[in-house]
Structure 1
Amino acid sequence: MANTFLTLDGVASVLPDGRTLFSDLHESFDDRPTGLVGRNGVGKSTLARMLAGHEAPARGRIGRAATTYYLAQRAADDSASSVAELAGVGEAIAALARIEAGSSDQRDFDAVDERWDMRERLLDALQAEGLGHLTPDARTSALSGGEAMRVGLLGARLCGADYLILDEPSNHLDREARSELRNWLRTWTGGLLVVSHDRELLGDMARIVELSPQGLRSYGGGYAFYAETSAQERDAAQRSLDASKLERKRAEQAMREQQERQVRRQSRGRRDAGDANLPRIMLGGRQSRSEATAGKLEQQREATREALAAKVADAARRVNEDVAPALLVPGTARVARRRVAVLQDVVLPHVRGGARTIDVVLRGNQRVGITGRNGSGKSTLLHVLAGRIAPLSGSIDVPVRVAWLDQRLATLDPARPLIVQMREAAPSVAEDTLRLRLALLGLDARKIGIPTGSLSGGERLKAALAQALVAEPPPELLLLDEPGNHLDIASLEALEAMLMQYEGALVVVSHDEAFLDRLALTDRLSPTPEGWRLLPW
């Protein structure tokens, strides 16, 4: 019999503005590896924090029969400052240092507990993970996204918890690190909940739980079963909508015909009454009864219309929940074989080994995928191409308009609303047009009017994409650093479709080979000990 670690009993989340994010959630989580999926902004990360005890529900209760370890989606951003803190052992190591310096405070001994060798264990784990160049007190701001995620995952191995709650754990990881993560999780014997859009990782789960505005729904089996079942449900919802619309159309026609027959009967009755030369009082009684009958019939028809309209609206709501967001393609002209970037004898900052230097020419007809290990300089190269940081030496020429989206979404100001930043990026575009484009992305009027730092990870990424692609004039070179991170599966598929239609030069960094294979790339650019190599895809 499965061990139940966590239970939800009528759990609800209410946002500071009073809006209900989700409510009346009932579910149990046992020792089956479970994937949590759902659209961006539906509340997956909020639910994960609640399950881990990092956030309290507005209503309901959460039962815990296990110790938990929680890895946040934006691990480095949410940690305090150091590698030890990111690994979840900063408090123990700091307390140990105070004890070694002479502290006798009981709180320090409680923080250390039995972990007197935690500093050595962390150093050994960093070395084994290929992160031996990091120290426990190293600043997280100096880490790449992949390094930060790997340190956070080290914490999951060191913590000794019964239940792991990992929010997008494969984000930023290179191909080898993703494979190692999957292998480790397959051998994990405790409870596991993974919030993810990684279709390979979700395929390893024993069940999938979907969070939607209607609540939680559990699907036995892995991602393939969930995807097949969801597709069948979408088809059934569309058939139900079509049938409801047809039913309403036929009912409307029948009610019109009934009303026409009633009008004819009333007209005929008035003529017959006139011909019969009846007293006025009898004529008035007949007319009153006829009008009363007509009123009742009209009330019945109106009630039928309302019931049919509600039935269609309910069916439409179920269909609309599954409508994929639409990413609009920037309207740039092809720049054909024109040079869009020339790097000559460039030495990249913060990069070690042969990958420090690069010589490359990129043209307008090229679609380049940049792959390689974490920390090898991929993001740094994009920063240099975008003109955000300067090379240590060498020359760089990028004569075209560039749109750039980095891993940390630095182009967005987290303190200001998205609609304000969109107006600044495209001052000649009508605000109604901007709002429509954002609505097609699933960003409604409320979300575009609050600081972007309050949005979910997926919503922030879509916001940054919208801001980059609406810029005037349109970009001729599009630089994307791990654009699939944080996106739900429907949004990821929409991004793939948009990039397939984009006619400018494209340079994209990603560790998701399935995603890259869908982009019709022409070249692969990879760092090697001998330098960067550009080869046909």
Structure 2
Amino acid sequence: MLTLQGVTYVHPNKDVLFTDINININKHEKIALIGNNGVGKSTLLKILSGELLPSAGFVKAETKPYYIPQIFGQFNTYSVARALRIESRLQALQEILRGEVTETNLALLDNDWSIEERCQEALTHWGLGGLDLNQSMASLSGGQKTKVFLAGVMIHQPEMVLLDEPSNHLDISGRRVLYDYIASVNHALMVVSHDRTLLNLLPVVYEMGKHGIMAYGGNYDFYTEQKQIENNALNQGLKSKTKALRKAKEVERESMERQQKLDARGKKKQDKAGLPTIMMNTFRNNAEKSTARMKGIHAEKIGAIAEEVNQLRKELPDTDTMKMNLDNAFLHRGKVLVTANKINYSYNSVFLWKQHLDFHIRSGDRIAIKGTNGSGKTTLIKIILGTLEPGIGTLERVDVKAIYIDQDYSLIDNSLSVYDQAQKYNTINLQEHEVKIRLNRFLFPREDWDKSCKALSGGEKMRLMLCCLTIGNRAPNMIILDEPTNNLDIQNLEILTNAINEYQGTLIVVSHDASFLKQIQIERYIEL
């Protein structure tokens, strides 16, 4: 149905993004495409869709795929109808109904007399019933924009669909509809996502990385099992090669010591024998050449093993290099930090929640705040933090050190460089080289230290923020995460998950990602 052969893409600045990609997508096949940010997943989808031409290789398509890109405001100047690619068809229908039955209008409509009804049916299915097709996309939320494009699948009924991070802006109910669609559709599908619940609905995983694309014949859970087996083998290989390197160095040391003893013994015999100077020099030169030859043999062997060790280390997942090692928060576990008694908040004299809220938060709790988009989750966070006061009821709050991490990682100062941002948190006066060691550990090498924080991706900002917390050393008593997994690739999602699981303080999370909530061991929920 769709074939990529030898596809390479080079950026306009001549940087090579990927080379020699080969893919075959068959009819009815459903594929998950995963990989770290920056490997070119979105670019590959654009090439598959025909929106972008490869720098080399070719694409052969029996049908034009329906492509839904990541939504980040690029369609704000469009109407809903234009975003759905039906604007001219709807206009032709309206003109025909007004009596303008021209050949042009009939060609544009292409006998699709039910287009309006099909649009409303599709929009209703995605929870957008009654949406005006002439409405501006700018007036919609991120989740509504995503649903508009997903409704387009029902409208156009393509044979192949390409989805780029479709669950990013969807709430729990929206994700359920998406999951039902993924599980039930019969057309070909390729999905780029970090949503592990969604990925487990797809029977094949393609991993895109520095060595091209590797296919795994199973869902995401199967993929992670296979990767764990690969990583265990890598670690075992690294352990074995490191041991061999130590042994080779030990053999070299013993051989050189033995050779030095032999040379010293030989020299003593030569001195006693009273040999002529010219003969003594010959013996000494021969001994030196023998020692040098032995050194060369050992150096070559050690160098070869050291190179193998370095290669194995490069193959290990980056998550293995990052550890938070934060000091524990000061508060003892179980201390009551927040008590809410029948609280509510009102906008324009209308209460936000149908029922007043009663809850308490104790030190060490792991709590998720649940609710659909617009249910007031962020408002409740602000009340817990004390930046908003409830309109009714009472809220008692202990003064604790709390950090609020939103999905844009606003704690990162975009006016600073990566190194200056790290130094901003250096309250324990680490030496410059120690700060740079921490940056390296969180995948910020020398060439990134002067980079502006403004230029960092969401995943990079998350890693820099975690690095800053390790530099500050003292853990906050409470961490509040507001949709932290949006726009993170799987690698950075694993890094964030591992960091949270190391944290011993109070955790409050807003997230629609059920897999993430399970992995960070959420104990209870506040439902709005």
The TM-score, its normalising length taken from structure 2, stands at: 0.80
CA–CA distance in structure 1, aligned partners of residues 138 and 387 of structure 2: 17
Q: 1:416–1:352: structure 2 CA closer, same or farther, 3 Å change rule?
A: farther
The answer to whether residue 185 in structure 2 is matched with residue 184 in structure 1 is no
Higher mean C-alpha displacement, 355-364 vs 208-217: 355-364
Q: 1:259 to 1:163 in 2, by over 3 A?
A: same
Deviations 1:278-308 (A, max 9, x none): 3333333333333333322222222112111
Residues 65 and 162 in structure 2, CA contact (< 8 A), matched pair in contact too: yes
**Distance in 1 of aligned mates of 2:210 and 2:312:** 15
In structure 2, C-alpha distance between the alignment counterparts of 1:286 and 1:110, rounded to whole Å:
99
Give the whole-Å Cα distance in 2 for the aligned partners of 1:140 and 1:251.
66
CA distance in 2, matches of 1:359, 1:525: 9
Q: What code does the residue aligned with 2:178 have?
A: L
Change (3 A) 1:441 1:133: farther
Structure 1, residues 471-506: CA drift from partner, whole Å, max 9, x if none? 899654433222233334454344344334545443
RMSD: 4.4
Query: Alignment partner of 1:485: what SS?
Result: coil
Give runs of aligned pairs for residues 142-153 of structure 1, distance below 5 A. 142-153=139-150
Structure 2 counterpart of 1:339: 338
1:290 maps to: 287
Q: How does 1:251-330 map to 2 (within 5 A)?
A: 251-321=248-318, 323=320, 325-327=322-324
Q: 1:519 to 1:217 in 2, by over 3 A?
A: closer
Aligned residues: 521
* Further displaced range: 436-445 or 265-274: 436-445
How far 1:435 moved relative to its partner? 4.9
Residue of structure 2 equivalent to 1:405: 405
Give the equivalent residue in structure 1 for 2:22.
26
Residue 511 of structure 2 is matched in structure 1 by 510
Q: Distance in 2 between matches of 1:295 and 1:151?
A: 74
Q: Structure 1 pair 263/424, CA: closer, same or farther in 2 (3 Å)?
A: closer
Render the CA deviation track for 1:57-76: whole Å, top value 9, x for unaligned.
55555444431233233x14
Q: Residues 282 and 479 of structure 1: is their aligned pair in 2 closer, same or farther, counting only changes over 3 Å? A: closer
Aligned residue for 2:229, secondary structure, equals helix
Task: Report the CA distance between 1:236 and its aligned residue.
Answer: 0.8
The amino acid of 1:245's aligned partner reads: T
Counterpart in 2 of 1:480? 481
Q: Distance in 2 between matches of 1:97 and 1:465?
A: 55
Counterpart in 2 of 1:200? 197
1: CA distance, partners of 2:461 / 2:411: 11
Cα shift readout 1:348-403 (whole Å, capped 9, x = no counterpart): 57x99873674445434344312233443334544565677898888878655543
User: 8 Å contact 2:122–2:154 — kept in the other structure?
Assistant: no
> Which residue of structure 2 aligns with residue 372 of structure 1?
371
Give the aligned partner of residue 89 of structure 1: 85
Deviates more, 1:253-262 or 1:301-310: 253-262
Whole-angstrom distance in 2 between the partners of 1:156 and 1:447: 41
Matched, 1:499 2:506: no
State the identity %: 27
Listed as ranges, the matches of 1:59-70 within 5 Å are 60-70=57-67
Q: Which position in structure 2 is the counterpart of 1:45?
A: 42
- The Cα of 1:139 is off from its aligned counterpart by 4.7
Q: Where do 5+ consecutive residues of structure 2 fail to align?
A: none
**Structure 1 regions of 5+ residues with no counterpart?**
528-537
Matched, 1:167 2:164: yes
- Call closer, same or farther: CA 1:397–1:474 in 2, change over 3 Å: farther
Cα shift at 1:310: 0.6
Deviation at 1:206, TM superposition (A): 2.4
Q: Tell me, yes or no, if the aligned pair for 2:324 and 2:502 is still in contact at 8 Å.
A: no
Contact 1:170 1:198 in 2 (8 A): yes
Residues 136-145 or 293-302, more deviating: 136-145
CA contact (8 A) 1:119 1:136 kept: no
State how far apart, in whole Å, the 2-side matches of 1:110 and 1:449 are.
57
Give 1:40 shift. 4.0
Retained in 1: the 8 A contact 2:252–2:298?
yes
TM-superposed deviation, 1:144: 4.0
Of 217, 223, 226, which residue of structure 2 is paired with 1:226? 223
Summarize the Cα distance change of 1:169–1:419 in structure 2 as closer, same or farther, 3 Å threshold. farther
Provide the secondary structure at the position in 1 that maps to 2:320: coil
What's the CA shift for 1:233?
0.8
2:361 aligned to 363, 367, 378, which one? 363
Report the Cα offset of residue 22 of structure 1.
Answer: 3.8
Which stretch has the larger CA shift, 181-190 or 500-509?
500-509
The structure-2 alpha-carbon separation of the partners of 1:190 and 1:500, relative to structure 1 and needing over 3 Å to count, comes to same
Residues of 2 paired with 1:456 and 1:158: CA distance?
34
Structure 2 equivalent of residue 526 of structure 1: 527
Distance 1:417 1:91 in 2: 45
| SS of residue in 1 equivalent to 2:194 | coil
**Take 1:162 and 1:52, find their aligned partners in 2: how far apart are those partners?**
12
Matches of 2:389 and 2:138 in 1, distance apart? Answer: 19
1:79 maps to 75
Verify the 8 A CA contact 2:237 2:312 in the aligned structure 1.
yes
Structure 1 residues 424 and 309: alpha-carbon distance in aligned structure 2, compared to 1, 3 A threshold: closer
Q: Does 1:442 align with 2:464?
A: no
Q: Deviations over 1:180-227 (max 9, x none)?
A: 222222333332111122233222222111122232211122223222
* Structure 2 Cα separation of the partners of residues 484 and 60 of structure 1: 35
Deviations for 1:1-20, whole angstroms, at most 9, x for unmatched residues?
A: xx4x131415245585x765
Q: 1:261 to 1:439 in 2, by over 3 A?
A: closer
Task: Show the counterpart of 1:533.
Answer: none
Deviates more, 1:209-218 or 1:165-174: 165-174
Distance 1:41 1:433 in 2: 28
**Partner amino acid for 1:339?**
V
Map of 1:157 onto structure 2: 154
> Aligned pair in 2 of structure 1 residues 115, 396: CA closer, same or farther (>3 Å)?
farther
Is residue 2:133 matched to residue 1:136?
yes
Does the C-alpha gap of structure 1 residues 231 and 142 become closer, same or farther in structure 2, counting only changes over 3 Å?
Answer: same
Check 1:240–1:506 CA distance in 2 against 1; reply closer, same or farther (3 A cut). Answer: closer
User: Is contact 1:125-1:154 (8 Å) kept?
Assistant: yes
Instruction: Give the whole-Å Cα distance in 2 for the aligned partners of 1:23 and 1:460.
Output: 28
Q: Distance in 2 between matches of 1:141 and 1:507?
A: 31
1:173 is displaced (CA, Å) by 2.9
The secondary structure found in structure 1 opposite 2:345 is strand
